[in-house]
């Protein structure tokens, strides 16, 4: 059975992001283990804000462990003892910004 997911929407920097919270149904207390924020837009206007997000994350967490470019899609991946953070951006026909945080710590230390 897949983990339970709760979806919400929030506005960040004037853009609508869908937010999904994933809870582990295998855990007796249903611990939160993943949060995903995603923004999709067909407006190819100013996309400099995509770089601003990565710059903010680099300032807070340091350089990513890995950085991949696949055509117009850029994927940055940070890993530490508490969890993994992945930033995916795309600036082509569609603009995409997705942030995914997944807890990797022991069951008792999940959010």
- Per domain, the residue ranges of the chain are 4-109
**Residue pair 76/86 in contact by the 8 Å Cβ criterion:** yes
> 31-64 b/e with 16+ CB inside 10 Å = b?
bbbbbbbebeeeeeeebebbeebbeebeeeeeeb
Integer Cα distance of 52 and 16 in angstroms: 16
According to the model, what pLDDT value does residue 27 have?
65
pLDDT surpasses 50 at 23: yes
pLDDT surpasses 50 at 1: no
Please give the backbone phi and psi of residue 24, each rounded to the nearest 5 degrees, phi first. Answer: -80, 110
Q: What pTM, to 2 d.p., does this model score?
A: 0.78
């Amino acid at each position: 059975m897949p983990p339970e997911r709760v979806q919400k929407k929030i506005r960040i920097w004037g853009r609508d992001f869908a937010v999904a919270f994933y809870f582990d149904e295998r855990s007796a207390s249903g611990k939160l283990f993943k949060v995903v924020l995603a923004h999709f837009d067909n407006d190819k206007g100013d996309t400099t804000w995509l770089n601003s997000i990565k710059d903010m994350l680099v300032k807070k967490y340091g350089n990513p462990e890995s950085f991949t470019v696949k055509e117009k899609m850029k994927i940055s991946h940070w890993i530490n003892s508490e969890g993994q953070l992945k930033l995916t951006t795309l600036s082509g026909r569609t603009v995409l910004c997705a942030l995914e945080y997944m807890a990797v710590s022991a069951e008792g230390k999940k959010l």
